[in-house]
């Protein structure tokens, strides 16, 4: 299934590995921060409404 990349195997595979790693990190960190901030906002709103 794996195509024969010949003498450029290292170049092609490292390009894909690094790019997909960077894109994956960007998506995961964005989602992680998004969830963290959303829960912080909900807690802050709850605390402020409770404390009046």
Binding site for another protein (CB under 8 A): 1, 3-9, 11-12, 14-16, 18-19, 22-23, 25-27, 30-31, 33-34, 37-38, 40-41, 44-45, 48
Q: Tell me how many degrees the CA angle 34-18-6 measures, rounded to the nearest 5.
A: 150
Q: Rounded to the nearest whole angstrom, what is the least distance from the CB of residue 17 to another protein in the complex?
A: 10
Chain length of the chain: 52
Q: Rounded to the nearest whole angstrom, what is the least distance from the CB of residue 38 to another protein in the complex?
A: 6
With contact defined as beta carbons under 8 Å apart, do 12 and 5 qualify? yes
């Amino acid at each position: 299934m794996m195509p024969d990349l010949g003498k450029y195997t290292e170049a092609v595979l490292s390009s894909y590995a690094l790019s997909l790693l960077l894109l994956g990190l960007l998506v995961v960190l964005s989602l992680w921060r998004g969830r963290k901030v959303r829960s912080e906002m909900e807690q802050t709103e709850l605390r402020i409404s409770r404390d009046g």
